[in-house]
Amino acid sequence: MNSNTNLQATTSSALEIEAAHLAFRERRQSLPVLNQISLTVPNGKFVSIIGPSGCGKSTLFHVIGGLVKPDSGKILLHGKDVTGERGHISYVPQKPALFPWRSTLDNITLAREIAGMPIKAAREEAQAWLGRAGLAEFAQAYPHKLSGGMQQRASFLRGLLAPQEVLLLDEPFSALDALTRSDMQRWLLDIWEENQRTVLMITHSVEEALMLSDSIYLFSSRPATVLHRIDVPFTRPRTEQLLDDPRFLELKRDITAQMRVQMHKNQPL
């Protein structure tokens, strides 16, 4: 490989994971969790990870976020090695985890506050975003006044307003009921297609992954290995009609079947 193509590869991919390997040690036993995971999230693309539950996807996020150091392998951000370093990514956790003693607005500006950015500009921008998320009148309300879907939207805005470029979404809709969930997916799709932030999302829902992503990584059950990379062929902007597209249904069936195989590897019926 010559240096020129190498440079190109690094500039076009915002986040790269190179052969990350991790095992937890428990009572002198080694439990492998991540097995040589390699994946790439190109600049401004939406990439999803699908895998059976408990396959170590959340651990992967901890590795990317610098909370856990991999035994081997590297995390690269625009080609720069950031393995084990914190503060490089914007994390949207599984449950909203808004700070109950902060108003919704103050929650959303938290990441910028931590980064030491001017708070006034952050508040103005946050106010504008709250309006777009239909939360304008809840800016000064404490999070417990918000419904589950609203809290998740606020949590997502907190991630979106963070100064870090790459967003990590950890099953962001899993705690919501089906109706709110599809509503939120459409909302996220709209927001994302306008902003084109670099996103890596973990999900259990094949439909959600197909609807939102540019490419999907299929993970095996524990220890997590990358089984496949699926490039999602559908053009953007996407609408709900996509759900009835025969190609969409075929892909969905295909991925679901592969996931089922993985699930039953661990827990035979």
Contacts for 16 with CB less than 8 Å, ≥ 6 apart:
10, 39, 40, 41, 74, 75, 76, 77, 79
Burial class of residue 201 in the structure, from the number of CB atoms within 10 Å of its CB (0-12 exposed, 13-18 middle, 19+ buried): buried
The residues with which 48 forms a beta bridge, in sequence order, are 201, 216
**Helix-helix angle 148-160:178-195, to 10 degrees:** 20
- Provide the 8-state DSSP code for 220: P
Mask 164-183, x = binds other proteins (CB under 8 A)?
Answer: x---x---------------
Query: Mask of contacts with other proteins, 68-97, x by CB under 8 A?
Result: ------------------xxxxxx-xxx-x
Report the DSSP beta bridge partners of residue 44.
none
Told to check if 12 binds other proteins by CB under 8 A, we report: no
93 by Cβ neighbours in 10 Å (0-12 / 13-18 / 19+) ranks as middle
- Residue 111 touches other proteins, criterion: CB under 8 A: yes
In whole angstroms, the minimum distance from the beta carbon of 61 to other proteins comes to 8
> Minimum distance from CB of 100 to other proteins (Å)?
5
Q: Which residue, 97 or 227, has its beta carbon nearer to other proteins?
A: 97
Q: Is 246 helix (H, G, I), strand (E, B) or coil?
A: helix
Stretch binding other proteins (CB under 8 A), from 62-70, 124-132, 196-204, 252-260? 62-70
Q: What span, in angstroms and rounded, lies between the C-alpha atoms of 165 and 188?
A: 17
Taking residues 18 to 57 in sequence order and writing x for each that binds other proteins by CB under 8 A, - otherwise, the string is: ----------------------------------------
Q: Which is nearer to other proteins, 110 or 263 (CB)?
A: 110
Our CB check for other proteins shows the closer of 115 and 128 to be 115
Figure out which of the listed residues 162, 184, 216, 218 binds other proteins, where binding follows CB under 8 A.
Answer: 162
- Residue (167 or 210) nearer to other proteins, CB: 167
Q: Hey, what are 116's tokens?
A: 């030491």
At residue 169, the 3 state secondary structure works out as strand
Interface residue with other proteins among 7, 19, 31, 114 (CB under 8 A) is 114
Q: How far is the CB of 111 from other proteins (least distance, A)?
A: 5
The distance of closest approach from Cβ of residue 4 to other proteins in the complex, given in angstroms and rounded to an integer, is 33
Separation in Å, CA 7 to CA 2, 4, 164, 181: 9, 5, 22, 40
Interface residue list for other proteins (CB under 8 A): 62, 65-67, 86-91, 93-95, 97, 99-101, 110-111, 113-115, 142, 144, 162, 164, 168
